[in-house]
Structure 1
Amino acid sequence: MEINRFKVTDVGRFTELDIQLAPTAKHPSNVTVLVGNNGAGKTTLLKSLATSLSWLVARIRTEKGNGNYLAEEDIRNGASSALILIGVVDESHARSSRSDANPEDALFTWGIARGRQGRKAHIHSSLGDVSLLADHYRNELTADDKASLPLIAYYPVERSVLEIPLKIRTKHTFDQLDGYDNSLNRGVDFRRFFEWFREREDSENETGVSDTALAEISEKFGNDSDIWKTLFQLKASSRDRQLTAVRSAIAAFMPGFSNLRVQRKPRLHMAIDKDGVTLNVSQLSQGEKSMMALVGDIARRLAMMNQPLDNPLMGDGIVLIDEVDLHLHPKWQRSLIRQLTETFPNCQFVLTTHSPLVISDAKDVLVYVLDDGELQERNGLYGLDANQVLLEVMDTDIRNSDVQQRLNRLLERLQDGDLDAAKKLFSELSLELPEGHLELAKAALLIRKLELRRA
């Protein structure tokens, strides 16, 4: 399942905006990235998508379920009403059986409308198609209570990594439909992740061998003993498929990290091995915890909702992430989209970012630049360096504007052959900028060439 296009009318700062999402004929990737300055409307668009999709989640749960509504403050200033239209295509549930049908006929299209109080509304919500699509999934669950469901999740910029609880005070269920719990209104929930992980691991240990028992056997008899090898093989054969999916997803995103687990001694905590050293997860950096929580939550929900699959990470769905680069080291930003598409190949991603590294290192990604309520598609960003993306896409200087102006004047003096003025500017900049500055090194070579020419 994927969103083909959506349209907002008088929502936020947008008068009317019609957006097609990847994959498209020109952009076979399943990733769309929205770029723009603060206040450009990126979050408004993601929230609009989340609002529309909440109705599908609600009606998969119950036939007459209600999703989220537009608030009055979502209506554009000066407008009397607002509308979000979304078109979804689902290959597993054909909208039309005719082979010659118009591509638009294959879309499940529904709209969420809101009128301003005291005004006569000329538009209304239309929810026929969302009920029809939800019916398909409920029929499948009726026929097979383990039938796969699409992941639908929104991770807002306010997402936070909560401290992992030492005690579980409230017992939760983790049935298939619970994969939708808080999926569109809270984002990352490390507390729920820990509770789910602990329950699955307890079940895994009941039918197999725990990590603690294996470690004790290793300490007593060694890893070369027959008893350790037998128990290790028994543990490998009894691995929980859902936990394996989560562990493998985290390992793919975080090289050097492995063996995520719950430890009971000296006190209850979640542990992970980092470059061979065992750490309490709470000891990780904010960026490491953020990455683990985000990836772990996506993998956990996919695992819960795709129980029949040998590899639950192959499940499909729609994932919306606001400021996907939040808290991440540039090295992780650069590989983020590639890892998302490789680890979750059947999920459609709609992302926002302020990082040039995110959008310049992934091929076939559809990038839109938002500016003053308008949308512009940008192509050919793959392989550009970060400075080019900052200048050409994000309309941002690559360095301090005062320094850049003085470097520009230095280059102009050199091009004009004004050696004395160039040497004076060079001397002033050399006192302020760090040794080995690339632009100054180039200028030094040009000054030397000019001096030799004069000589």
Structure 2
Amino acid sequence: MFLKRITIQNFRGIQEMELNLAQPSGNRKQTLIIGENGTGKTNLLRAVALVMGGSDALAELLNTPDDWISFGAPFCQLSATLLTQAGEERSIQLTINRGDTLKGIVLANQDQLAEIDAALAHATQNYFVVGYGSLRRLNRSTGFSRGGETIFRQARATNVATLFNQEALLNPLNTWAMEVDYRTNGKGLDIIRQSLNDFLPAVKFHSIDKEKGHLIFLYGSTQVPLHLLSDGYQNMIGWLGDLLYRISSAFNDYQSPLKAHGLLLIDEIDLHLHPKWQRKVLDYIRHKLPNLQLIATTHSPLLAQQAQEHELYALKRTSRGKIALEAFRGTPDRLLLHQLLLSPIFDLETDESLAVEELKKQYESLKRRKDPPQGKLHYLATQIEQLPQNQRSNMNYGNDQLDLLREIKSELKARRDS
């Protein structure tokens, strides 16, 4: 299954939007979406999860139906085009009219959701979708505790629980690992090692302490239980452990979970990740989970820099207040970080600090006066001259900034020579 297109109308502030996931070279496996807070990144992921959920999951995920409809609109509509493994297109649609009950919504959309409902009735792993919200909390209890089930009961709803409810919990990594070890008669260590070792920098999986139910990792030469690793490590592998558990459960496959086909949604994928890890997470998913289609959101320019051609999009609010989706023109992973930051997709005018930017604004403001205070002007000019000014050949530096630096240098030289 491949999600080819999603169209959104009147959905929580998104008036009209289409995300096309096909590209000239074929089906796009990874899509990264950036945008300022409030532009609808999370709601875009929720829209995908809702229309792909099937009738049984809708009743749990929708909760209060009118809340999904944009203020003042009479209805919202989500449409998706799917591509099967046989290359056949399938269309599904979900319409919510203001005032509809949950039962009424399911009944009214029976025909539009027939394609996905029929597929799910045939095999529950069809159109497999799993999603993670920005608040990804681990279930800290021991044993075979299950995340999400206390919030939702239907399997497809629990698979995206944290996208819709901040109280939902993730299945901890040890839950999956212990079950793999049990189901494979103790032969699952290689599967666990293969899944984890490339994902955790400086830490390697070592063994399972079956008596205590702990995973043991090697940090250098020291053995450390999973729960004693830093919060950064635990947050990093939180969604991965839950993902592996859900794949194994849905496909009943404890031998090769990394080969599963489906759709992975992650909100703020860079959350809690050190910059070094941010640079590697897309590559990990691309190579370790090659059959999962990824749609993720981020605020991180470091992570956006790892996107390939056609993979990066930005949600922006137009001058009329509407939310628009813009594709990045170019190849992010061929750019230097400052080039990406100063491109239209991030809308930054400079990569300098706010302090430096303010310093230059003060200088320019004083220069425009008829009789500027020379002492203050000289002080600001000296401060600016002392800043690092190694211009890179690929620097996206405006002509006005270069003119300002030349002017300051010229004036300071004239003062020294006089």
State TM-score, norm by structure 2.
0.75
Q: CA separation of 1:264/1:338 partners in 2, compared to 1, >3 Å: closer, same or farther?
A: closer
In the TM superposition, residue 27 of structure 1 has moved relative to its aligned partner by 7.3
* CA-based RMSD: 4.2
Q: CA separation of 1:3/1:277 partners in 2, compared to 1, >3 Å: closer, same or farther?
A: same
Q: CA separation of 1:246/1:133 partners in 2, compared to 1, >3 Å: closer, same or farther?
A: farther
Q: CA separation of 1:307/1:437 partners in 2, compared to 1, >3 Å: closer, same or farther?
A: farther
Distance 1:337 1:169 in 2: 29
Distance 2:255 2:224 in 1: 30
SS in 1 for 2:280: helix
Unaligned runs of at least 5 residues, structure 2: 318-322, 367-374, 393-404
Distance 2:30 2:129 in 1: 15
Q: CA separation of 1:314/1:412 partners in 2, compared to 1, >3 Å: closer, same or farther?
A: farther
1:77 aligns with 2:71: yes
Specify the alignment match of 2:226 in structure 1. 281
Unaligned runs of at least 5 residues, structure 1: 60-64, 96-105, 142-147, 209-238, 414-419, 431-435
1:343 aligns with 2:288: yes
Distance 2:191 2:174 in 1: 15
State TM-score, norm by structure 1.
0.70
In the TM superposition, residue 136 of structure 1 has moved relative to its aligned partner by 4.2
1:271-420 alignment to 2 at 5 Å?
A: 271-307=216-252, 311-372=256-317, 373-380=323-330, 381-392=332-343, 393-396=345-348, 397-407=350-360
Specify the alignment match of 2:400 in structure 1. none
Specify the alignment match of 1:251 in structure 2. 197
Q: CA separation of 1:180/1:118 partners in 2, compared to 1, >3 Å: closer, same or farther?
A: closer
1:30-109 alignment to 2 at 5 Å?
A: 30-55=29-54, 58=56, 68-69=61-62, 71-92=65-86, 95=88, 106=89, 108-109=90-91
- The answer (yes or no) to whether the contact 1:245–1:303 under 8 Å persists in 2 is no
Specify the alignment match of 2:134 in structure 1. 157
In the TM superposition, residue 346 of structure 1 has moved relative to its aligned partner by 0.9
Deviating above 6 A after TM superposition, structure 1's stretches of 4 or more consecutive aligned residues are 408-413, 420-423, 440-444
Matched AA of 1:399: E
Structure number with larger C-alpha Rg: 1
- The answer (yes or no) to whether the contact 1:189–1:293 under 8 Å persists in 2 is no
Distance 2:47 2:170 in 1: 25
CA deviation digits over 1:116-140, x for unaligned, max 9?
A: 2299x99x95443643344346446
CA deviation digits over 1:112-170, x for unaligned, max 9?
A: 22122299x99x954436433443464468xxxxxx6553101011222343x345579
Matched AA of 1:131: A
CA deviation digits over 1:315-363, x for unaligned, max 9?
A: 2110000000001001111122111111111110001000001111232
Q: Which of 159, 164, 173 is matched with 1:183 structurally?
A: 159
CA deviation digits over 1:28-84, x for unaligned, max 9?
A: 64111111100001111111111112117x48xxxxx96633721221111111111
CA deviation digits over 1:209-247, x for unaligned, max 9?
A: xxxxxxxxxxxxxxxxxxxxxxxxxxxxxx22xx64443
Q: CA separation of 1:169/1:293 partners in 2, compared to 1, >3 Å: closer, same or farther?
A: closer
Q: Which of 116, 121, 124 is matched with 2:98 structurally?
A: 116
Q: Larger RCO: Structure 1 or Structure 2 (Cα < 8 Å, ≥ 6 residues apart)?
A: 1
